[in-house]
Structures are given as structure tokens and as C-alpha cells.
Amino acid sequence: MDYDRLLNIAAELGCRLMFSGAEIYRVEESMIRLLRAYHLESPEVFAIPSCIIVSVTTPAGHPITKMRRIPSHGTDIEQLERHNGLCRSLCAETPPLEEVQARLDALEKPAHQFFSWQVLLGYGVAPAFFTPLFGGGVRDALCALIGGLGVGACLLYGRRLIGANTFFRTAVCSAVGSLISLLLVRLGLGRSVDIVTISVLMVLVPGVALTNAMREIMAGDTISGLSRTADAILVAAAIALGSAVGFSISRIL
């Protein structure tokens, strides 16, 4: 058995799970189960959102340790489900490592890619459906749809101008969404600027990240939970700052 290769495969699987937005306990448990399925006793795995460290001892008594740095990432439920399913399959079948590597490489390509116009449409439709929850009417929903399209266009096509920094990108998109919402209400298309604005900004709220953070804190993964909480708080601060900037610009106009 090539234990170095097995450790690399387990680390790669853990990294992909983490990059897809998996919880810390899922990443650690998946790697441990995979290593135990190949007869490695007592593997040690430590994971935080930006790093994974895994250590095993071979039957001959030789310790092996692997560390992987994980870049900034978001959430991809489809990739998470595919890699989680692969881990369960590997633990049940324990195929040769060559086959394991091939099956892992096959998941590197996305199973389905949405067109840009579909993603943009989603950014517009989501705020429109949030509007009735906040007490808005049809006109407010239409304004929210237009504002959501503006935020989506900023995210999809403005990366070269606003960069990849999450805080700055969120602040700019919040300013754009708030400005569009206020202008549309001033033009008489919508009735409540508060309802339209909050509906548009809902597409930027880090709900999944905050939920995972609270879950990890309650599960005892304090470092990871606090890290995710800090990210969510920074995004929320960027939304507030961007909204303030958008309203300030609208007053000047």
C-alpha cells in the first residue's frame, strides 16, 4: 500500500470538501473514515477554514503528515454533495488507489454550469420574492428585481473594476443596490424605499456562512466557528457601509 499516495488523496478530498463550503466536522470525519477504510488506525485530522493538517502512522510505525493551505472560498452545494457521495462510496468499496485518484479527478470538472444570464436572472428574481415577506407590493417587487439585476451585473461583470476582495466587492454592490432602489422609488416606480432596499440586499447576506459558524461553535470547533463568524460580520459591515454610501450619493443627486 502506498500510504503517501493515500494521504495525498485524503488531503485532496478534504480540501475539496472545505472549498465547497462543508462544515468542519464533515471534512474531518470524511478524511478519518476514508483513512480507516484503508486500514490506517487512529488517523489525526485538524481542519480550519484555511488549512487542513492530517497525520497517520503506517503499520510499520512510520509517521506521515500532510498539510494543505486552502484559499478563500464560498459555497457550492452541488460539488459538496458529489464529493461527500464519493467519500461514502470509497469507504464502502475501498477500490485500488489508482481508481480512487481517477474518480477524484473526474469530479474536478463541474457537473453543470449555469449561463451568465441564468445567474443574473437569479439575482433579480430572488429580491423580488423577498419583497412580499417584508410587506411590499407588486411595484416594490419590480423595483427589487431591477435592483437585484444591478447587483448581479456588478458581481458578474464588474470583477475587473472592483477586484476580488470580498469586503470591497460587497460594499460596492451594496452601494449600487441601494442607489438603484432609492432612485426607482423616487421616480415613482416603487412605494417603500426601505422594503425595496432590504429585499435587494438580501442576496448579499452571508446566511450560510453564519449558520455554519454557529453550528461549529456549538459543536466545539471554536476556532473555525469564530473565523467564519468574523467573515460574516465583515460582510455585514460591508453591506452597511455600502448602503450608507449609496444613500449619501443619492442625496447629492
**pLDDT tens digits for range 226-248:** 888 888 888 889 999 988 888 78
Average pLDDT, the chain: 86
Phi, psi of 230 (to 5 degrees): -60, -40
d(CA 69, CA 73): 12
Torsion of CA 103, 107, 111, 115, to 10 degrees: -150
Question: What does the pLDDT read at residue 146?
Answer: 92
Residue 52 burial by Cβ neighbours in a 10 Å radius (0-12, 13-18, 19+): buried
Helices (H) and strands (E) in the chain, counts: 11, 3
Nearest alpha-carbon partner for 219 in 82, 29, 87:
29
Q: Pairing relation of β-strands 51-57 and 63-69?
A: antiparallel
Please report which confidence band the pLDDT of residue 143 belongs to, taking 50, 70 and 90 as the band edges.
Answer: very high
Residue-range domain boundaries for the chain:
3-106, 116-252
Q: Model's pTM, two decimal places?
A: 0.75
d(CA 10, CA 7): 5
Question: What does the pLDDT read at residue 13?
Answer: 92
The most confident of 83-87, 110-114, 190-194, by mean pLDDT:
83-87
DSSP SS3 for 191: coil
Of how many residues is the chain composed?
253
Residue 48's H or E segment, with its range, is: strand 44-48
Q: CB count, 10 Å around CB of 98?
A: 10
